[in-house]
Structure 1
Amino acid sequence: MKDRLWTRDFIIVFIFNFFIMLAMFLLMVTISGYAIEAFGISTSNAGLAAGIFIVGSLIGRIVTGHQLSLMGARKIMYIGTVMFIVTYGMYFFAGNFWVLLVVRFLNGFANGVATTAVGTIAALALPQARRGEGIGYFSLSFVMATAIGPYLAFSMLEHVDYQMLFLLVFIVVLIASVFTIFIKTDNETIDLSKEPKPRFQFLDRDALPAATTILIVCLAHSTIFSFIALFADQQGLGAAASYFFLIYAVMMLITRPFTGRLMDLKGANIIVYPALALYFIAYMVLGNATTGWMLLLAGALVGLGYGNFQSIIQALCIKLADRRNVGLATSTFFICLDFGLGVGSYIFGQLVPFLGYGGLYNSMTIIVAIAAVMYYFVYGRKEKYLSI
């Protein structure tokens, strides 16, 4: 029983994280269309309505990481949950585009606060000897939301308007929030009456070197989220593109629990290097895709490569941190992930006029190679438990 993964608290945070991620994706893929329809703005401004959520989430994580050691993850989770309910309710009162931007920012901030706290509680609810496996399972809550959210959002809009979509999302968040009152797990906090208040930190020094590798990888990965639909349309592969993220998600669902367990037994290297190799190949296949099966093969390879690299690095960041800093390490990981996804598409989007989408994806192999070299120097060469 001591090494049991699926405890009550772990199950609750898994369900809660799935629903808050589902709510995020339901609006992430539809808010641009809503902004254009409701306020008659340009496409670029509509993109801002989607992107400012990530900015808010990033700032929420920066603020939360430090406070976890002072207030405790459970209290932070309650604060984030209340903010979630309030900010999802504010969509009904966004009467113009600028108010909508404020709501999206605050909604993203709430997302950063709540998900950082929930991720910390999930890690602490796991037995240390099986933490890699457990993080692999927990991350599936995000994967499932990624696969279901966009599909469900577009399907719903065929039958309801945006206001009804907002209402349904609000109800989902409200119902999911009820589960959190039953959570007992919490992190160690600092007693300010016995020791001085620590200086403000928004990054964990022990976790940061490993976290920088996910930042580099996410710079490349952002190009998939941003340009895969445009690339597929250009290649005449629009029908296959609709299944790209489904295949991507299925590969992660199948492999993450096993790779997490393997990390616990053999160390991170045995997963990270093959995952990065598969991710490298994925970009080669994607950059040269001319048929539907090549596009779907690329999706499968991305799921196997990026999908497993992400969960292993998250577990590694937590493993490297002091137990009292699990929350800060979790925040550090997500700050790097969000930053990479947030700025990567803007940076590499500048290359599209010169390289085309295919050339852009081929060039991402360089970024993956840089990440592999960086991983080797910050952690890989120090790994003690690699088994060939």
Structure 2
Amino acid sequence: MEEEEHLFNKNFISVTVINFVVYLVYYLLIVIIAVIAQKHLHASLAEAGLASGIYIIGTLFARLLIGKKLEILGRKNVLRYGGLAYLITTAAYLYMPNLAILFAIRLLNGFCYGMVSTATNAIVTEYIPFSKRGEGINYYGLSTSLAAAFGPLIGLLLLTYTNFYTIIIISIILIVLSTLGSFILPVKEIEVNPDHLATMKSWKLNTFMERKVLFISFIGLLMGLAYSSVLSFLASYAEAIHLVQVSSFFFLVYAGAVTLTRPMSGKMFDRFGEDSVMYPSYIFLTLGLFALSFTTVGWQLLGSGVLVGLGYGTFMSNGQAVVLKTLRTESHKIGLGLSTYFIGLDLGIGIGPYILGELKNFISFQEMYLVAGILPLVCAVLYKIYYNPSKVTKGIEQEIHHLTEHAQHGKVAK
């Protein structure tokens, strides 16, 4: 128990490493699957885009369903059996004779990835001392950010020097290791009282999302949409401005910026509150996307990578910390709350390429990045108007007071 009072206890480190591997395989495959669909299965550009995007649809279904049922099914079961299913559906890439099979594999693989990532996001919260929630979530979120940086880089390098089947074998080995780790990891389950259990079993539409975190989830959707302009179009943009070689280092500097600033942003969240990191994240992402729109030489491209990392990378984990703060006294809702938040992020990244791609038919790349850069500013304005940290804190204090009074009455009754 004493070990768990420290942030870097062995269980926190274990679940963070598992999460890193799960996300690494996701990002490793997402950057190459469109190329494989076109080269090996003669897919059109639209079909290749669908092969990439259908994965997100599977993930969203998993977050909606598993996020709601997580505590009923059990965090341990979802993590372990979801990991096995993730392994099987990844191995299925070895057999994809046509596009229909590829689409089915991508959909199922996305669902299984959603299962495992939903479980890890909830499980890690039990190994973070509440006084260090911002710092802990930022270190945990670093695993996702690093995977988002190194996954595309490794995927493209492997595709250049090996072949698709070698990449799948490497992915299988990684998932085998993470799944073995999930069977060793001790997982704390949440006890659910009968009233909450009835809500979790309900199939009403409003029980599939946690309303208390819908606002920060919507902000996540807009931020994800803005960031999708980088994920989806950076390679094409770099080719258009003749910076292809330099662009391969974009995600490395992104990862470097996130790695260096993540510990500080977590401590700022804990000490000064969420506003101290959320507003800078909006501003930095806007600056990064605006910088991309004016990029003409290599150092400008890499500089924008630093700014984007400080923006989206900071927001992603601190938005998760906001969810935990909001649901501090309702641990049975953490799984659903985090699922709701990541639905927003995933949906933004999923629909962004289509929306911005359609917009690109009428404007240039430079103008597209200017438009994308406006979205974080919109987020800042909405956050200022509608989000009140003091109200969240006051609500938490009232809930704690209510629970304390309830416990005292229980003792008196006894």
Q: TM-score range by the shorter chain?
A: over 0.9
- 158-167 vs 64-73, which moves further: 158-167
What are the equivalent positions in structure 2 for 1:170-209 lying under 5 Å apart? 170-190=172-192, 196=198, 198=200, 199-200=202-203, 201-209=207-215
- 42-51 vs 187-196, greater mean Cα deviation: 187-196
Which deviates the most, 191-200 or 85-94?
191-200
Match of 2:70 in 1: 68
Given candidates 351, 357, 364, the residue that maps to 1:356 is 364
Equivalent residues in 2 for 1:140-179, closer than 5 Å: 140-179=142-181
| Selected match of 1:300 from 280, 300, 306 | 306
CA RMSD of aligned residues (A): 1.9
Residue in structure 2 matched with residue 99 of structure 1 by the alignment = 101
Residue 119 of structure 1 corresponds to 121
Q: Does the aligned pair in 1 maintain the 2:21–2:147 contact within 8 Å? A: yes
Counterpart contact for 1:275–1:308, Cα < 8 Å? yes
Match of 1:328 in 2: 336
8 Å CA contact 1:133–1:263 kept in 2: the answer is yes
Q: Cα distance 1:157–1:134, how it changes in 2: closer, same or farther (>3 A)?
A: same
> Aligned pair 1:283/2:296, yes or no?
no
Distance 1:328 1:96 in 2: 36
Match of 1:240 in 2: 246
Is this contact kept in 1: 2:141–2:316, CA < 8 A? no
Match of 1:355, SS?
Answer: coil
* Structure 2 residue aligned with 1:58: 60
The CA distance in 2 between the partners of 1:287 and 1:208, in whole Å, is 31
CA displacement at 1:25 relative to structure 2: 1.9
- The one-letter amino acid of 1:85's match is L
**Which secondary structure state, in structure 2, belongs to the residue aligned with residue 290 of structure 1?**
coil
Alpha-carbon shift at residue 33 of structure 1 (Å): 2.1
Cα distance change, pair 381–314 in 1 and its aligned pair in 2 (3 A): closer
What residue is the counterpart of 1:376 in the other structure? 384
Query: In structure 2, which of residues 326, 333, 345 is the aligned counterpart of residue 337 of structure 1?
Result: 345
Give the equivalent residue in structure 2 for 1:25.
27
- Aligned partner letter, 1:40: H
Deviation at 1:384, TM superposition (A): 8.3
- Which residue of structure 2 lines up, in the alignment, with residue 81 of structure 1? 83
The partner residue of 2:267 within 246, 257, 261 is 261
CA contact (8 A) 1:68 1:189 kept: no
CA gap 1:117/1:360 in 2 versus in 1, 3 angstroms = same
- Between Structure 1 and Structure 2, the one with more helix by share is 2
| Deviation (angstroms), 1:157 | 2.9
CA 1:261–1:185 in structure 2 vs 1: closer, same or farther (change >3 Å)?
farther
Distance 1:230 1:197, change over 3 A: closer
Q: Is the 8 A contact 1:53 1:107 kept in 2?
A: yes
Maintained 8 Å contact 1:248/1:300: yes
Residue type matched to 1:7 in 2?
Answer: N
Residue 11 of structure 1 and its aligned partner are, at CA, apart by: 1.2
User: Which amino acid is 1:294 matched to?
Assistant: Q
Greater Cα shift, 214-223 or 277-286: 277-286
Moved more, 126-135 or 192-201: 192-201
Q: Is the 8 A contact 1:3 1:130 kept in 2?
A: no
Q: Which runs of 5+ in 1 are unaligned?
A: none
Match of 2:130 in 1: 128
Matched residues in 2 for 1:229 and 1:195: separation?
47
Separation of aligned partners in 2, 1:30 and 1:269: 37
TM-score normalised to structure 2 length: 0.88
Partner AA of 1:73 in structure 2: R
Q: How far does the alpha carbon of each residue in 1:54-90 deviate from its partner, in whole angstroms, 9 at most, with x for none?
A: 1111111111111113122222112211211111121
Please state how far the C-alpha of 1:206 moved relative to its aligned partner. Answer: 1.3
- Secondary structure, in 3 states, of the residue corresponding to 1:135? helix
Tell me the CA shift for residue 330 of structure 1. Answer: 0.9
Q: Is the 8 A contact 1:269 1:383 kept in 2?
A: no
| Structure 2 unmatched ranges of 5 or more | 394-414
